[in-house]
């Protein structure tokens, strides 16, 4: 009985380390060699019979897997600033890291590349058009978020107004149906006018 328990413990340790016989024998359907000794931190790709790429990572005594090129990976590529600028290959995490992060969000290049581009545009007399287009894109992004905020405000107006009447917590509700439609119409008209005028001003040809 004791020997059986020891064997079970050994088997568990081997499974965690990735050296168990069920993990080290030749596995059909994978292009990688599962019996290769891996170092801590190693990552590699194996392909399943149905063509799915699996990314493995060696941890301390065990290994983990996830789908390679997952949606999360793609999102992180967009959000996270790379180590090097894709335009000039300069280091992004240097003395200008703060500025690089700021300009990466809007230009997808380093701070230095933005300065060089804008300096060249000024020399060619094209900077004003470039700046206006940037402002237009920023305005569109702003209104995308503002649209949601306006919808939240309108939903609040569509509801009932609650008023705490006394210390016992008794609540009296007031129906806003008499004037809420007027407010909703006013919000739509004013917001839509402001949005159209702003985008039209930035998008017009000089």
Q: What is the per-residue pLDDT for 163?
A: 56
- Paired tokens of 115: 């300065």
Place of tokens 């280091």: 91
Q: What is the per-residue pLDDT for 10?
A: 67
Q: What is the per-residue pLDDT for 200?
A: 87
Place of tokens 């287009």: 133
Q: Using CB atoms within 10 Å of the CB of residue 111, give its burial: 0 to 12 exposed, 13 to 18 middle, 19+ buried.
A: buried
Range list of H helices, 38-179:
71-79, 97-107, 111-124, 127-158
Quick: pLDDT tens for 162-176.
555 555 666 556 555
Q: What is the per-residue pLDDT for 122?
A: 92
Q: Does the pLDDT of residue 51 top 80, yes or no?
A: no
* Range in 54-68, 69-83, 165-179 the model is least confident about: 165-179
Average pLDDT over residues 54-80: 68
Q: Does the pLDDT of residue 35 top 80, yes or no?
A: no
Most confident by average pLDDT, 75-84, 100-109, 116-125: 116-125
Q: What is the per-residue pLDDT for 115?
A: 94
Q: Using 50, 70 and 90 to split pLDDT, how confident is the model at 26? A: very low
Average pLDDT over residues 114-119: 94
- Angle, alpha carbons 86-84-100 (nearest 5°): 90
- Paired tokens of 99: 């500025």
| Contact status, residue 187 vs residue 179, Cβ threshold 8 Å | no
């Amino acid at each position: 009985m004791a020997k059986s328990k020891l064997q079970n413990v050994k088997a568990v340790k081997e499974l965690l380390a990735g050296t168990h016989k069920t993990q080290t024998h030749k596995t059909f359907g994978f292009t990688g060699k599962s019996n290769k000794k891996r170092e801590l931190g190693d990552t590699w790709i194996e392909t399943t019979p149905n063509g799915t790429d699996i990314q493995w990572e060696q941890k301390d005594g065990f290994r983990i897997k996830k789908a390679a090129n997952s949606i999360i990976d793609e999102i992180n590529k967009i959000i996270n600033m790379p180590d090097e600028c894709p335009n000039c290959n300069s280091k992004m995490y240097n003395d200008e890291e703060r500025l690089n992060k700021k300009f990466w969000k809007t230009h997808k290049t380093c701070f230095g590349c933005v300065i060089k581009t804008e300096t060249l545009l000024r020399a060619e007399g094209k900077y004003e058009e470039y700046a206006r287009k940037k402002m237009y894109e920023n305005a569109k992004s702003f209104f995308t978020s503002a649209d949601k905020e306006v919808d939240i405000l309108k939903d609040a107006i569509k509801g009932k107004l609650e008023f705490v009447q006394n210390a016992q917590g008794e609540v009296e509700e007031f129906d806003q149906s008499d004037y809420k439609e007027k407010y909703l119409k006013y919000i739509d008209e004013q917001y839509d006018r402001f949005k159209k005028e702003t985008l039209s001003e930035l998008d017009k040809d000089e």
